[in-house]
Structure 1
């Protein structure tokens, strides 16, 4: 009986102590989170292609981001290291090791204030987008301050000031911005529809070192937009206007006798229901190059400028074309033509006009075309042109038409069919027809291509699979015909391997009929990924999301490491 009483007493004391401990609130010390990424390459000699490794053949780009959050307060810093130099053809401003960005912010449900470096986008980004893409070597963060105010769920207001990041420094131009978003569905009594409107302002101030300049030192830009959704239908539109400014000549220096305003119109609409999707985007841009400094700075090689590295670019003008995963379909890629460019009396451009349409259709299961597992069909059509009108080379001037099309730049018409044959077999077939006006876009010959792609994936288990792809390009000019193939093996959630090769077997120069081979693998565990590969880089444009950078031909070994904490 004494043992039972003693046990009951011990339990009651323990219970009282536990209740007292639970009543003591644990102190919040906040949390630390961030990530680390490293991209390193060892550039090697390649006698077959006549490539000698550069000075400092082992190079790496490294990024360490550390954030601290406690309550409504967050602060962070990003340290970047490019040692002993950045990877080839990155912005020369990325050199050495230094603090790249830092910020501190305070956020509530209705209010947010940020000081330091920050990222932002107004609307579609045609006036302003400050963003980062490490694969492209882009970081256009603004250093200054930003305030967001949400007085209600239907209203968001943003005001900012800053200078745009360039390497480890900032541009000289001051950037001012204001953006507003209003959801007006309740105002109009919409119950089955959604309507929102918005307006933006961006000002770029840069002193002009000359008496009585032909334009204002403060360049103002305005935009208005709307977005409407009803049932399965949606439509959005945006108009942007940039005050007249001095234009650049072919040598990327200012021509004070060539002054023009700029504008852009963007329209997107579509329809979506089960088994069917249609999406169309139209865009017209005239003189919409918008830089935080009017004159691009030299890269130091006597050829390139900051424009070659997407440096000091305020706005976001991606190419509105299909983003292919095929190696051969990415040989001739389109870059949006947003600025005025007078190359010579035969090639004069003021922007672009065109669009693309996507159509997706699923053939139902147990039908003639759907079969047992169904069939997916995707069609994409895109075409882009110069603005029509009259052009004069000397003195430089143009007068364009709002409607119609001028010289054709590019087109891409493609169809993809995905078909599951069994529980384990998945197949896909694509046909792509491209036109690339290299004479106007890069200098060279006009190219017409036809590309066929076939791929098959076999799933051994839910986490173990092999994918095989074959592709061929017929081209009537430039490098002529190509052929390629890929094999990917995923052993489980951790290990994956690949090998691929493309060969320019149709090149008129027999010495340029080269294999561009690559072999590599990756290991993943939790939030950490390590990848190693060896092979040849084909020189040309590398694009992410419609934005591109030029990479030189190279051969070497690369190592990528990324983790989050």
Structure 2
């Protein structure tokens, strides 16, 4: 480990010296540093004690060099003394995390080392990094992208996934092709493309001598993308070969063997002032990991595909208490808890009422309506044998629904407001595999006043009516942007309706940020509500905590 850290420091020195090289030599150096630290405190009213190591920090330094058609990069990470609470424990101490060398021209792109890639929508394969969620499933190996013409692309990958500072036991293979017919036939107003994908995961089977499934799990996908003027349509269908089911973390059911499949359809129409977008998705046993027993882990570790929740990503705090997570996995507990995947979708509609009309007023009015609904797959289930046969378009018990409307109104060059109503249905027993059912109604209102182009204040008020669980909540936020450099905020969430009086807690936070060119520093003090933190439809669980946090982000 020390040798790797020394290598990182040497590369940093070389890159720093490279900044002195003139641009005429075609040498470019860039990078960045991110640090997220927290000092956890005891909080008796909240009922939490700080961890044994209260001061924790996640740090990332990445450096890149580019010379003509060549590029190289390295990322070092440090988690001292430990990573922030509920990050993957494999993120420990300091080490070189990723590195790569790349050659790229108009027709060929060769990468060796760690890399990120996505095939199609990601239903079968996607590798990416999201530090807020603690996800980094880069593949260590090689990638070849061949583009002999403007209308044909071939990608091939091989490697092992990153897991902490190590790599997975399972090997990943992949090939993706895309043919853009609109470029081939020179369509003027239409875009049309087809894609085919293969992904294989090879992992040795050592627990049983004669397994009824293969060490190599194969996945195949086909997709179509079509755009014509204001209309667009895309679809992707994926199948996964027979493999052992993992219902409980690290417990591979060698006698429970099932294939998987997924269907994704998206279509819409968009023009100035109006938009309509609809998405349908069906998942059946589509959890895909580079190691079988990784399925169900709390950190999205070794996940190979991208299955986000297709629901509205709300910016209100209370709307993110009961947040949906996609349900691609199999879990047959008893007659009341039968899951083999999910089926459902969402619909988005927005309309801008024109200025100088009765509903638009002087400055216009924007209305956005969103609806999403998700159910378990319907079919026949056989217990205790543990087998099932699903109906392709069968809807089982309801997981979740979210119906909402948002109205945004500009009253003057300085004043703007927004009003939102949200109705949610959250089946805790099916989604979290615990117990309970929660129905909520949420109302949010906000107003922004601009003193100048760079100075503004934003005030938000929210209320949730919930019929069970922790019952009613109220929340408020005030944000003040002093200028382009300084901003401040204060917020509070109060669970005043909790049936347990001692649990009627305030989750307050105060803080501020400073920005200077490409550098941002933020300081925050307050309480973290326990629950899910989600980015782009992918979530991780965080425990309740209290403390001071400091973040630094800069690029150079």
Query: Residue 89 in 1 paired to residue 86 in 2?
Result: yes
Query: Residue 440 in 1 paired to residue 466 in 2?
Result: no
Matching residue of 2:318: 328
SS at match of 2:393: coil
What TM-score do you get using the length of structure 1 for normalisation? 0.93
How far apart are the structure 1 equivalents of 2:172 and 2:226?
30
How far apart are the structure 2 equivalents of 1:417 and 1:345?
42
How far apart are the structure 2 equivalents of 1:285 and 1:52?
40
SS at match of 2:307: coil
Matching residue of 1:483: 474
Matching residue of 2:15: none
SS at match of 2:324: coil
Structure 1 unaligned residues grouped into runs of 5+:
1-24, 297-304
- Deviations along 1:132-159, one digit per CA (max 9) or x if unpaired, are 0000000000000000011111111101
- Alpha-carbon contact 2:248-2:296 (below 8 Å) kept: no
Superposed CA RMSD: 1.2
Matching residue of 2:159: 162
| Match of residue 393, structure 1, among 373, 383, 396 | 383
How far apart are the structure 1 equivalents of 2:65 and 2:184?
40
SS at match of 2:175: strand
Matching residue of 2:501: 510
How far apart are the structure 1 equivalents of 2:227 and 2:504?
52
* Shift, 1:444, TM fit: 2.3
Matching residue of 1:404: 394
- Deviations along 1:403-461, one digit per CA (max 9) or x if unpaired, are 13110000000000000011100000000000000111121210000000000000000
Q: Structure 1 residues 391, 465: closer, same or farther in 2, change over 3 A?
A: same
Give the aligned length.
533
How far apart are the structure 1 equivalents of 2:375 and 2:192?
32
SS at match of 1:441: helix
Matching residue of 1:216: 214
Which residues in structure 2 correspond to 1:416-495 (within 5 Å)?
Answer: 416-442=406-432, 443-495=434-486
Matching residue of 1:302: none
What TM-score do you get using the length of structure 2 for normalisation? 0.94
Q: Structure 1 residues 505, 115: closer, same or farther in 2, change over 3 A?
A: same
Matching residue of 2:308: 318
Q: Structure 1 residues 26, 91: closer, same or farther in 2, change over 3 A?
A: closer
- Alpha-carbon contact 1:345-1:392 (below 8 Å) kept: no
Matching residue of 1:530: 521
- Alpha-carbon contact 1:384-1:408 (below 8 Å) kept: yes
- Deviations along 1:344-375, one digit per CA (max 9) or x if unpaired, are 34201000000000001000001010000000
Query: Residue 519 in 1 paired to residue 510 in 2?
Result: yes
* Shift, 1:192, TM fit: 2.2
- Deviations along 1:163-193, one digit per CA (max 9) or x if unpaired, are 0000000000000000111111255563321
How far apart are the structure 1 equivalents of 2:189 and 2:141?
41
Matching residue of 1:204: 201
Which residues in structure 2 correspond to 1:275-424 (within 5 Å)?
Answer: 275-296=273-294, 307-424=297-414
Query: Residue 262 in 1 paired to residue 260 in 2?
Result: yes
SS at match of 2:209: coil
How far apart are the structure 2 equivalents of 1:364 and 1:67?
48
SS at match of 1:91: coil
- Deviations along 1:490-540, one digit per CA (max 9) or x if unpaired, are 011100000000100000000000000000000000000000000000000
Q: Structure 1 residues 27, 486: closer, same or farther in 2, change over 3 A?
A: closer
* Shift, 1:247, TM fit: 0.3
* Shift, 1:115, TM fit: 0.2
- Alpha-carbon contact 1:250-1:342 (below 8 Å) kept: no
Query: Residue 100 in 1 paired to residue 134 in 2?
Result: no
Higher mean C-alpha displacement, 342-351 vs 546-555? 342-351
- Alpha-carbon contact 2:240-2:286 (below 8 Å) kept: yes
- Alpha-carbon contact 1:444-1:478 (below 8 Å) kept: no
| Match of residue 145, structure 1, among 142, 146, 149 | 142
Matching residue of 1:501: 492
Q: Structure 1 residues 312, 306: closer, same or farther in 2, change over 3 A?
A: farther
Q: Structure 1 residues 251, 148: closer, same or farther in 2, change over 3 A?
A: closer
SS at match of 2:298: helix
Structure 2 unaligned residues grouped into runs of 5+:
1-21
Matching residue of 1:172: 169
How far apart are the structure 1 equivalents of 2:445 and 2:333?
40
- Alpha-carbon contact 1:93-1:166 (below 8 Å) kept: yes
Structure index of larger Rg? 1
How far apart are the structure 2 equivalents of 1:555 and 1:237?
45
SS at match of 1:103: strand
Q: Structure 1 residues 186, 144: closer, same or farther in 2, change over 3 A?
A: closer
- Alpha-carbon contact 2:420-2:443 (below 8 Å) kept: yes
* Shift, 1:29, TM fit: 6.3
Query: Residue 549 in 1 paired to residue 545 in 2?
Result: no
